[in-house]
């Protein structure tokens, strides 16, 4: 940041107290006073003559002939006295004692306040050099006219001296007026100035108050704010003029592709507003986070048209924003997969985001995933998967801070909510998002999608979900024979396979103060959502949801993380749209897709302690550095329950209530991102297995 200083104009009595002039007067005062004191002790008559000749000087030190006189005496005694005066005068320099100190001319400033700055006290030896320093101290109090400041030593009985200090107070301040303050209230400024009301004008105090006023602005981020003018008036009023450092123009340079309005829209600081260092820093950080620029610099210079205003210059260095990707990876559900992607984060230089992603999976590791997460239960079918998605985002719709996102998608994957089923979805969505104040944002999404499910259980032989439900119907007493059991199981399976064409509206209110979207260490995140889904070929329903997360740092590398989430469905909610107690982000310590049920209502809470691996230095060898940067440990407690899926959960042998504790490891793996490995101990017995067997779970990304 570049700072500019402007001189403060001090008129009237302030103009008489400029430092250089004040210094010259003090030097003159010292010289005159030293001369006067010397001659007053050695030769009183000469002193009187010099005082008369120097009556116009700023400081005077007077000792008159009569001051040496004591009580009236006879002529003989007086003659004798006269003969000894010379002798006494010779020794007075060395033996004079200050008897008392009197202050004259003060009305508003107490004598005690004035004498408190004097080093000379009654009973001290008379020292003209120290008295001159005392006069300086009185003058530096700032309340008095330095041209009228005088000290007069009067000789008393014996070798005693009475010091008379005469002062003339500056005019008292009757009121303050402030002009130009739009960003700081007059009440805030008055609190700084009010203690001077009714007291003599004091350049020292006023100067200190000016500094405090400017600091008040600076603390709020207005670093260019200055008190530019101070005036006093005959009625005792004092006015202060403030320039708050207004920006009259913003210049953008260095951008060849990015349009000017994209950068200007990112700046909350606008022409006509006061420069705020805190705001511009946040704006620069946000502008850099958009990913358009490699470097951003800013500078300030005085306006060419108005010397009281400034021009803000923003200089950017653009970087490449488009990318094409061709690769593959490994997923616990889809197995090895191939991927093609294209993205442009500054499409047409307007800050628009255009992206196309496609992924085809082999489902080769479905058996491995079933063994790891489901204890050998064939929940995930062995079928090929694909995911196609194209999106376009306009971050500043019609020049506002409202963003528009349009997405088209097609997906075919193993359903996470229906056992042994392949789910296919084709659809599109339009979402409007508007940031609100203090970390809040509001979004509204309109989604149209057609979802269908294909039953793959017939390929699994004895582990066919339909056969399992029929067996459970008999063992739980819901059916009395095989025919009834098969009929009941068939009805439930048909409901599980229910799809349809739906049009959904989903308004969402969000609050986010986290320090990072990925692996945050502090802050709060809140999401509240509600909206209906109109079934064009199926039953209509509505969903209400809420999620609250809190992150609290504990020490340097440890974070306490809490999450509470819940949801409720109204109407004929199909199975694929319900809530699941298990799954990738459900209660751990159970078989993720075999032990825990689903339903139209959910309530789940989680507490985690996340920390870096202790006692591993970050600046050690390659191995310790890798561990410090890519490995974290976690301890967790999960509790949750679902409702509204009684028959389905009963026939599938699924828990509707679950709780667990455990430990986990977080690994940042190239091409996969964060891999979550958790080992949990169930606190509530599994309905299916009838035991408290600990389970090992795998997932991707943090649970919340």
Q: Tokens 């008055």 map to which residue?
A: 190
Q: Give pLDDT, residue 148.
A: 85
Q: How confident is the model at residue 239 (pLDDT cuts 50, 70, 90)?
A: very high
Q: How far is CA 179 from each of CA 228, 306, 457, 617, rounded to the nearest angstrom?
A: 10, 18, 81, 58
> Do 343 and 334 meet the contact criterion of CB atoms below 8 Å apart?
no
What sign for the dihedral angle of Cα 200, 201, 206, 207?
Answer: negative
- The structural architecture, per CATH, of the domain 322-700 is Beta Barrel (2.40)
Helix axis angle for 186-193 and 203-219, nearest 10°, is 150
Q: How confident is the model at residue 52 (pLDDT cuts 50, 70, 90)?
A: very low
Phi-psi group of 525: left, alpha or beta (phi > 0 → left; psi -120 to 50 → alpha; rest → beta): beta
Backbone φ and ψ for 17, nearest 5 degrees, come out as -120, 30
- The structural architecture, per CATH, of the domain 246-318 is Roll (3.10)
CATH of domain 13-166: 3.10.20.310
Taking 50 as the threshold, does the pLDDT of residue 26 lie above it? no
Three-class SS state of 33: helix
Dist. CA 338–CA 522, nearest whole Å: 36
> Do 89 and 112 meet the contact criterion of CB atoms below 8 Å apart?
no
Of 335, 354, 329, the residue nearest 344 (C-alpha) = 354
Domain definitions of the chain by residue range:
13-166, 171-243, 246-318, 322-700
How many other C-beta atoms can be found within 10 angstroms of the C-beta atom of residue 470? 24
Dist. CA 21–CA 147, nearest whole Å: 12
Residue 161: exposure state from Cβ atoms within 10 A (0-12, 13-18, ≥19): buried
Q: Give pLDDT, residue 59.
A: 35
Among the residue ranges 87-96, 326-335, 563-572, the one predicted with the least confidence is 87-96
Looking at per-residue pLDDT, the higher value among 45 and 481 belongs to 481
Q: Give pLDDT, residue 79.
A: 39
Which range, 117-131, 297-311, 499-513, is most confident? 499-513
Dist. CA 565–CA 585, nearest whole Å: 12
Looking at per-residue pLDDT, the higher value among 126 and 688 belongs to 126
> Do 377 and 591 meet the contact criterion of CB atoms below 8 Å apart?
yes
Q: How far is CA 664 from each of CA 5, 550, 575, rounded to the nearest angstrom?
A: 57, 20, 31
Q: What is the mean pLDDT of residues 557-583?
A: 94
Q: How confident is the model at residue 644 (pLDDT cuts 50, 70, 90)?
A: very high
Dist. CA 579–CA 599, nearest whole Å: 5
Three-class SS state of 206: helix
Write the DSSP assignment of 420-466 as a string of letters: TEEEEEEEEEEEEEEE-STTEEEEEEEEEEEEEEEE-GGGSGGG-HH
Dist. CA 516–CA 512, nearest whole Å: 10
With respect to CATH, is domain 171-243 assigned 1.10.645.10?
Answer: no
Q: How confident is the model at residue 31 (pLDDT cuts 50, 70, 90)?
A: very low
Dist. CA 285–CA 599, nearest whole Å: 43
Return the structure tokens found at 562: 């809490």
What sign for the dihedral angle of Cα 176, 180, 186, 188?
Answer: negative
Taking 80 as the threshold, does the pLDDT of residue 581 lie above it? yes
Task: Tell me if 246-318 shares its fold with 322-700.
Answer: no
Length of the chain: 704
Which residues make beta-bridge pairs with 442?
434, 509
Q: Give pLDDT, residue 701.
A: 86
Could you give the dihedral angle defined by the CA atoms of residues 102, 106, 109 and 112, in that order, rounded to the nearest 10 degrees? 10
- pLDDT tens column, 419-449: 889 999 999 999 999 999 889 999 999 999 9
- pLDDT tens column, 270-290: 999 999 999 999 899 888 888
Dist. CA 432–CA 441, nearest whole Å: 11
What does pTM read for this prediction?
A: 0.64
Dist. CA 150–CA 303, nearest whole Å: 49
* DSSP letter (8 states) at residue 71: S
Three-class SS state of 58: coil
Q: Which helix (H) or strand (E) holds 26?
A: helix 19-42
Q: Tokens 């992206």 map to which residue?
A: 355
């Amino acid at each position: 940041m570049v700072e500019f200083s402007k001189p403060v104009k001090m008129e009237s009595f302030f103009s008489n107290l400029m430092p250089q002039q004040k210094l010259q007067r003090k030097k003159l005062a010292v010289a005159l006073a030293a001369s006067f004191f010397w001659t007053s002790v050695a030769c009183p008559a000469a002193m009187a003559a010099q005082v008369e000749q120097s009556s116009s000087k700023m400081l005077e030190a007077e000792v008159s002939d009569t001051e040496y006189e004591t009580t009236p005496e006879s002529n003989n005694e007086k003659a004798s006295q006269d003969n000894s005066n010379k002798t006494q005068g010779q020794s007075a320099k060395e033996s004079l004692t200050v008897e008392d100190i009197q202050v004259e001319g003060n009305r508003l400033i107490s004598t005690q306040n004035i004498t408190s700055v004097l080093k000379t006290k009654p009973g001290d030896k008379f020292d003209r050099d120290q008295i001159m320093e005392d006069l300086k101290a009185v003058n530096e109090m700032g309340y008095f006219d330095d041209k009228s400041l005088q000290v007069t030593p009067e000789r008393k009985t014996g070798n005693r001296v009475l010091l008379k200090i005469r002062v003339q107070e500056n005019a008292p301040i009757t009121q303050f007026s402030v002009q130009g303050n739009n960003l700081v209230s007059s009440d805030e400024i008055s609190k700084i100035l009010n203690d001077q009301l009714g007291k003599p004008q004091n350049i020292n105090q006023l100067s200190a108050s000016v500094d405090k006023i400017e600091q008040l602005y600076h603390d709020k981020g207005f670093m260019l704010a200055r008190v530019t003018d101070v005036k006093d008036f005959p009625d005792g009023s004092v006015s202060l003029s403030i320039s708050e450092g207004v920006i009259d123009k913003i210049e953008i340079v260095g951008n060849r592709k990015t349009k000017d309005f994209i950068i200007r829209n990112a700046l909350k600081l606008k022409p006509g507003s006061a420069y705020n260092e805190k705001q511009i820093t946040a704006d620069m950080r946000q502008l850099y986070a958009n990913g358009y620029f490699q470097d951003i610099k800013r500078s300030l210079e005085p306006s060419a048209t108005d010397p009281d205003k400034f021009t803000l210059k923003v200089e950017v260095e653009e970087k490449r924003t488009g990318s094409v990707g061709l690769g593959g990876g490994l997923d616990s559900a889809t197995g090895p997969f191939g991927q093609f992607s294209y993205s442009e984060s500054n499409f047409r230089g307007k800050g628009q985001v255009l992206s196309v992603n496609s992924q085809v999976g082999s489902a080769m590791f479905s058996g491995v995933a079933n063994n790891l997460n489901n204890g050998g239960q064939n929940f995930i079918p062995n079928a090929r998967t694909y995911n196609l998605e194209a999106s376009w985002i306009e971050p500043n719709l019609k020049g506002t801070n409202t963003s528009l996102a349009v997405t088209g998608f097609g997906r075919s994957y193993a359903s996470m909510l229906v056992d042994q089923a392949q789910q296919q979805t084709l659809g599109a969505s339009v979402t409007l998002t508007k940031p609100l104040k203090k970390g809040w944002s509001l979004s509204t999404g309109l989604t149209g999608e057609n979802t269908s499910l294909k039953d793959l259980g017939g390929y699994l032989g004895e582990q066919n979900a339909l056969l399992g439900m029929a067996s459970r119907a008999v063992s739980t007493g819901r059916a009395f024979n095989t025919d009834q059991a098969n009929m009941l199981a068939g009805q439930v399976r048909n409901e599980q396979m229910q799809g349809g064409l739906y049009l959904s509206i989903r308004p969402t209110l969000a609050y986010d103060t986290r320090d990072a979207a990925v692996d945050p260490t502090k802050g709060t995140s809140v999401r509240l959502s509600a909206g209906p889904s109109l079934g064009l070929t199926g039953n209509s329903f509505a969903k209400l949801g809420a999620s609250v997360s809190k992150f609290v740092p504990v020490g340097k590398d440890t974070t306490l993380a809490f999450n509470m989430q819940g949801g409720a469905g109204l109407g004929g909610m199909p199975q694929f749209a319900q809530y699941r107690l298990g799954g990738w982000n459900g209660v751990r310590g159970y078989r993720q897709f075999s032990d825990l049920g689903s339903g139209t209502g959910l309530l789940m809470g989680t507490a985690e302690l996340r920390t870096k691996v202790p006692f591993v230095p970050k600046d050690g060898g390659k191995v310790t550095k890798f561990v410090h940067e890519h490995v974290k440990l976690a301890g967790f407690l999960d509790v949750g329950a679902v409702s509204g899926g009684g028959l389905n959960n009963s026939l599938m042998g699924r828990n509707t209530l679950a709780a667990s504790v455990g430990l986990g490891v977080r690994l940042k793996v190239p091409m996969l991102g964060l891999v979550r490995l958790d080992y949990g101990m169930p606190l509530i017995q599994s309905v299916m297995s009838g035991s408290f067997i600990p389970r090992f779970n795998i997932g991707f990304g943090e649970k919340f």
